[in-house]
Chains A and B, each alone.
Chain A
Amino acid sequence: AQSVTQPDIHITVSEGASLELRCNYSYGATPYLFWYVQSPGQGLQLLLKYFSGDTLVQGIKGFEAEFKRSQSSFNLRKPSVHWSDAAEYFCAVGAGSNYQLIWGAGTKLIIKP
């Protein structure tokens, strides 16, 4: 069955430190992969997406993610986090031709001053 796993429910990082959020997926075909961010009380905003080609994709707000087919992973990274990055981050896999998404449960990012 298709699924997305985000192993960390929450992560605490000091401001200025690097960040990596993990995402593993189970999908039979070549996946379309997404990272979205949700600030408190807000909707979801697309950070980046991978469809094909270069496995390292750049997104908004200084985020990047790397697709590793052998590990079924699509981890999100940022070299130096800012307090404004505190939010919940969702990984998703696109399933089917209508961009239906299968979602991970989310990782809440907490920034320590």
Chain B
Amino acid sequence: NAGVTQTPKFQVLKTGQSMTLQCAQDMNHNSMYWYRQDPGMGLRLIYYSASEGTTDKGEVPNGYNVSRLNKREFSLRLESAAPSQTSVYFCASSGQGFSTFGSGTRLTVV
């Protein structure tokens, strides 16, 4: 089925560890996004990529890096995880005027 695929679905990290969240879309969309969702705060944009080869900071980029590997894939990296990065992370891509979301990654940093 066409859509946005995120891996992993769950992850527990120790403070200071690093990890990469993977995202791939098969809808041939140019724009892709990473959001974090925290209770009572809606979704906040971490980084986005308007097209292959470009990335830009969103509202809350500190502590994260991204790579737009190709048109399909957009990864999010935590270099040194902190408890404040405990959250649910969503990847999305945009086309035909709206965003399609992955099912999310629940990350806990202890």
B interface, by DSSP: helix, strand, loop or mixed? strand
How many A-B pairs fall under 8 Å by CB?
Answer: 52
How many of chain B's residues have a CB under 8 angstroms from any CB in A?
23
Report yes or no: A99 in contact with B103, Cβ–Cβ below 8 A. Answer: no
Q: Which of A4, A36, A99 is the most central at the interface, judged by chain B CB atoms within 10 Å of its CB?
A: A99
| Cα separation A43 to B102 with both chains bound (whole Å) | 6
Interface residues of A in 81-109 (CB under 8 A from B): 90, 98-101, 103-106
Binding site for B on A (CB under 8 A): 4, 9, 32, 34, 36, 42-46, 49, 51, 90, 98-101, 103-106
Given contacts A34-B98, A98-B31, A105-B41, 16 further A-B contacts (CB under 8 A): A43-B4, A43-B101, A43-B104, A44-B92, A90-B43, A98-B94, A99-B99, A100-B45, A100-B48, A100-B58, A101-B43, A101-B45, A103-B43, A105-B40, A106-B40, A106-B42
